[in-house]
Amino acid sequence: MKRKYPEQELKIDDVLVKQRKLFLYGEVVFQNMERLCKCLLVLDGMNSTKPIYLYINSPGGSVADGFALINTMKLIKAPVITIINGEACSMGGLISIAGKKRYMTHNAFWMGHDMRGGIWVDYSGKVEYRAEFLKRCWKMIEEHLKKYTKLSSKEIEILRNGELWLSPEECLKKGIVDKII
């Protein structure tokens, strides 16, 4: 059977980007954040009023790379709508709360915790400086949580010293999401 149109390989990612649907599935690392930041900038340039949907299923990752994405989300004019579809943990959770509108599916969960120090080898001469830097990073995370959620000081303290796991209903109550879908 002969087709009317030349055969082309369907590139699902290209189709989804054209539909303004982006995916943070996996770790928050440089390569993933670079691609998402570029997509946000291009989509905003094409139409700065039409929403962009960012689906999240991430265990988290790099604080610096995650804040690069959050900063890009805030710099563009197009509203970014985040949808937690699976897990939004650690830096993935912080990204999820930066959306203009924030949604979560019924079977998803959100988790926040303190960041890893990043010291893997004999780093003794620099530990003090790294600790000071981590304090500054934590302050930035804490301000972000206070700005975009209704988490109590006690819950933020749990998050800092352990792990704070929340269901969709708890996320709705705590202002982490606007709606469960």
Instruction: Exactly one of 58, 62, 90, 96 is catalytic; name it.
Output: 90
Q: At what angle do helices 30-46 and 63-75 cross, to 10 degrees?
A: 0
Burial class (CB in 10 A: 0-12, 13-18, 19+), 110: buried
Q: How far apart are CA 16 and CA 107, in angstroms?
A: 23
> Could you give the 3-state DSSP secondary structure of residue 47?
coil
Residue 96 annotated among the catalytic residues of the structure = no
Q: How far apart are CA 31 and CA 124, in angstroms?
A: 30
Instruction: Exactly one of 113, 152, 153, 167 is catalytic; name it.
Output: 113
Q: How far apart are CA 24 and CA 42, in angstroms?
A: 17
Residue 62 annotated among the catalytic residues of the structure = no
> Could you give the 3-state DSSP secondary structure of residue 180?
strand
Q: Are 60 and 90 in contact (CB under 8 A)?
A: yes
Give the DSSP H/E element, type plus range, for residue 171.
Answer: helix 168-173
Q: Which residues are catalytic?
A: 90, 113
